[in-house]
């Protein structure tokens, strides 16, 4: 569930009696996570400095930034990669910068300048040539799990400074971060309790949240139900305090209540339960209030190939179109009945 650091810290802080063997295991995991967190933070700061030197606007989120912003300590959150958003128009320059700095693209061809929108993959993945650093770049076009395309300029106007490893880093304000995190959680069916904890900690650390701004942002992205679902989970599972008007909006949407129960049943099941294809599709349809828009959303998500699937296209417009049409068939073939979302990390 990605909560080992928090569990250890709470057990240690409150003096709960724990068998020494288990406390030792938790502490070892905690220290290992702290070491990796510091390493990835160093890599993040290096990449941000590199982008800044080339005038590339970048918004880091999740990972080290969220650990600092929501938890106040890099060691309290588990993460295994770095996520940065850059404008699509800067992608070619960002790719060039990373290649010159010891990173390699997992799949090189989609990074060419002037890449048509139809051939933009779901993410751009890099790994350090001499390191274990996994870096994912996202753009307004790759973030297809938002029902409406995010406006990076609008987000950019509200960025805030967060101290990450002693360095000020610009990232989403808490109000925008809440929406982004709720979309991310919905994308992967809220399969990790750690993502619910992120919301709870972010709300707590923010102090005073401008909820009008939160809902304005969500509505502009047609992601209000995704937001309500995340907040409902935080309230139900971690007793997160929400203003009365927010709680009333959650209660007024019966679909949110149904989705909340479904996710909680999956998370708290004694055995690990996955989602079959029909469950996944129906879940996604219901994330968007308008039925027709929900079906369009599911179709877009289902037909947009991931980065590795574009390799078969070899840059051909025809092959790219075929990749989109064939992806739903690949998804069906990959799922004999039950599939657990492919989450590589606690991010």
What is the full per-residue pLDDT of the chain (347 aa) written as tens digits? Answer: 678 888 888 787 766 677 888 888 888 998 999 999 999 999 999 999 999 999 999 999 999 999 999 999 999 999 999 999 999 999 989 999 999 999 998 876 655 556 666 567 778 899 987 777 899 999 999 898 999 999 999 999 999 999 999 999 999 999 999 999 999 999 999 999 999 999 999 999 998 999 999 999 999 999 999 999 999 999 999 999 999 999 999 999 999 999 999 999 988 886 766 778 888 889 999 999 988 888 989 888 877 766 665 555 444 444 555 555 445 545 455 554 444 444 444 57
* Separation CA 132–CA 329 (nearest Å): 33
Residue 82, beta-bridge partner list? 135
Q: What's the angle, vertex CA 61, arms to CA 202 and CA 290, rounded to 5? A: 75
Rounded Cα gap, residues 50 and 347, in angstroms = 23
Task: Provide the angle, in degrees to the nearest 10, between the axes of the packed helices 20-53 and 91-99.
Answer: 110
Q: Where are the beta strands (DSSP E) in 59-166?
A: 59-61, 82-85, 103-105, 124-128, 134-138, 160-164
Distance CA 183, CA 290 (A): 17
Q: Which residue has the tokens 């599972």?
A: 237
CATH number of 4-334: 3.30.460.40
| Domain residue extents for the chain | 4-334
């Amino acid at each position: 569930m990605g909560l080992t650091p928090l569990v250890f810290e709470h057990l240690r802080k409150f003096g709960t009696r724990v068998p020494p063997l288990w406390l030792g295991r938790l502490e070892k995991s905690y220290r290992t996570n702290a070491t990796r967190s510091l390493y990835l933070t160093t890599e993040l700061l290096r990449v941000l400095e590199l982008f800044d030197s080339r005038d590339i606007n970048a918004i880091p989120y999740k990972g080290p930034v969220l650990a600092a912003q929501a938890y106040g300590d890099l060691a309290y959150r588990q993460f295994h990669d770095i996520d940065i958003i850059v404008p699509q128009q800067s992608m070619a320059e960002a790719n060039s910068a990373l290649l010159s700095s010891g990173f390699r693209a997992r799949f090189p061809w989609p990074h060419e300048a002037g890449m048509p929108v139809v051939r933009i993959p779901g993410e751009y993945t890099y790994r350090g040539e001499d390191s274990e650093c996994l870096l994912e770049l996202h753009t307004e076009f790759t973030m297809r799990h938002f029902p409406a395309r995010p406006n990076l300029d609008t987000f950019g106007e509200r960025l805030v400074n967060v101290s990450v490893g002693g360095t000020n880093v610009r990232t989403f304000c808490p109000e925008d971060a809440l929406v982004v995190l709720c979309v991310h959680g919905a994308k992967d069916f809220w399969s990790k309790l750690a993502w619910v904890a992120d919301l709870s900690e972010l709300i707590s650390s923010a102090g005073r949240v401008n909820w009008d701004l939160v809902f304005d942002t969500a509505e502009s992205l047609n992601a209000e139900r995704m937001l309500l679902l995340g907040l409902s989970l935080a309230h139900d599972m971690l007793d997160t305090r929400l203003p009365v008007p927010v709680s009333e909006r959650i209660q007024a949407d019966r679909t949110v209540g149904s989705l909340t129960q479904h996710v909680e049943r999956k998370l708290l099941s004694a055995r690990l339960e996955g989602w079959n294809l029909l469950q996944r599709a129906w879940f996604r349809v219901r994330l968007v209030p308008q039925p027709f828009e929900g079906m369009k959303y599911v179709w877009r998500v289902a037909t947009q190939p991931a980065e590795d699937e574009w390799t078969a296209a070899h840059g051909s417009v025809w092959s790219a179109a075929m990749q989109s049409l064939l992806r739903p068939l690949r998804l069906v073939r990959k799922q004999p009945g039950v599939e657990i979302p492919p989450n590589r990390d606690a991010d």
